[in-house]
Amino acid sequence: MIPEEINAYADALFWKALEGYDFSAYTLALRQISYRSPGANVLVINDSVYGPFTDLETCLKPSKWDLTGFTASSQLAHHIQSYPFSLKCVDRARMLKLAPVFFPVLAFSDPNAVINLQELRLTRIASRSMGGGALWYGDAKHVIDPTLVRPFELIDAGFPFLKRSLVGKYKKFQDTEQVKSLLNELGHPVDDWQERAAT
């Protein structure tokens, strides 16, 4: 459920069913932006992270890419991780070129389908028509997922997010109390209900 207070911050609000995972919501929003505000630069973030803890404009400003991920990984395939990414010049032509990833009339509720057919393919499909890259990279031979294995080092390096799952389903990667202590330092204390929601 979307809290009523969100209306005070939103210029537009779209409501969709929970089925379809993040890419179905990304598709809905990006397609609407391409029609209603063609040429817009868009920052896409899902609810899997706490933050931002640094200024996102400053973080993204040096990027010359049309598609910029905050992290990339070689796990399964070289790809930009899609929990936040920025996409420049969103218009109908760009969305048409990205239609093999942002399916106009199809949404998957199986996580493996989303990973294999959308997230892992996003960078490859985008590279056919635009430049793309990530601000941080995790070689899966050494770091399976930088956001889970090296969260403290990433924050120290100016990375703006902390994964919510570090106090939930992936708490095995880090000491939960250390993660909560860092969130307190960053001004984002975690309540019990937030910890349960991250599970």
pLDDT digits (tens, 9 = 90+) for 108-156: 989 899 999 999 999 999 999 999 999 999 888 888 899 999 999 999 9
Say how many domains are in the chain. 1
Band of residue 1 on the pLDDT scale cut at 50, 70, 90:
low
Q: What is the pLDDT of residue 199?
A: 56
pLDDT digits (tens, 9 = 90+) for 59-106: 998 899 999 999 999 888 889 999 999 999 999 999 999 999 999 888
31 within domain boundaries: yes
Domain that includes residue 120, residue range: 4-141
146 within domain boundaries: no
Q: What is the dihedral of CA 137, 97, 115, 80, to 10 degrees?
A: 10
184 within domain boundaries: no
Q: What is the pLDDT of residue 65?
A: 96
153 within domain boundaries: no
196 within domain boundaries: no
Q: Are 12 and 31 in contact (CB under 8 A)?
A: no
